[in-house]
Chain A
Amino acid sequence: MHELGITQEVVSLATEHSGGRRVTRVVLEIGKLSGMLPDSVRFCFDLCAEGTVVEGAVLEIIETPGLARCRVCGGEVPLDRPFGQCVCGSTDLEWLSGDELRVKELEVV
Chain B
Amino acid sequence: MCKADEGHEHEHNHAHTHANGHTHSHPHSHEHTPGTRVRVEKDVLGKNDRLADYNRGWLAGRGVLALNLVSSPGAGKTTLLERTVRDLADLSPTVIEGDQETDRDAQRIRAAGCRAVQLNTGVGCHLDAAMVARGLEELNPAIGSVVFVENVGNLVCPAMFDLGERAKVVVCSVPEGDDKPLKYPHMFRAGRVVLLNKTDLLPYVPFDTERFIEGVRQVNPTLRVIPVSALRGDGLGEWYDWVRAQATRRLPAPV
Q: Which residues on A are within 8 Å of B, measured CB to CB? A: 1-2, 5-6, 9-10, 13-14, 17-19, 21, 24-25, 28, 35, 81-83, 85, 90-92, 101-109
Contact = CB atoms under 8 A, between A and B. Distances in A.
Interface stretch (B10-18, B152-160, B169-177, B229-237): B152-160
A104 B40 contact: yes
A53 to B, nearest CB: 12
Contact of A108 (B35, B44, B126, B157): B35
Interface in B28-48: 33, 35-45, 47-48
Nearest to B47: A9
Contacts of B61: none
24 contacts: A2-B125, A2-B156, A2-B161, A5-B124, A9-B44, A17-B42, A18-B38, A24-B33, A28-B44, A83-B189, A83-B218, A83-B220, A91-B221, A92-B222, A101-B45, A103-B40, A103-B41, A105-B37, A106-B37, A107-B38, A108-B35, A108-B38, A109-B35, A109-B36
B125 A35 contact: no
Interface string B115-127: 0000000001110
B219 interface: yes
Given A25-B35, A102-B44, A107-B38, 18 more contacts: A2-B125, A2-B156, A6-B44, A9-B48, A13-B40, A18-B38, A24-B35, A82-B185, A91-B217, A91-B218, A91-B221, A92-B221, A102-B41, A104-B39, A104-B41, A105-B37, A105-B38, A105-B41
Query: Chain A at the B interface: mostly helix, strand, loop or mixed?
Result: mixed
A41 B33 CA distance: 26
B157 A2 contact: yes
B36 to A, nearest CB: 5
B186 interface: yes
A10 B43 CA distance: 9
A106 B40 contact: yes
B254 to A, nearest CB: 33
Contacts of B128: 5
Given A35-B159, A35-B186, A102-B44, A83 B219 contact: yes
Nearest to B121: A5
Contacts of A24: 33, 35
A66 to B, nearest CB: 12
Nearest to A7: B44
B45 A6 contact: yes
Given A35-B159, A82-B186, A92-B222, A101 B35 contact: no
A103 B223 CA distance: 32
Interface in B185-200: 185-186, 189
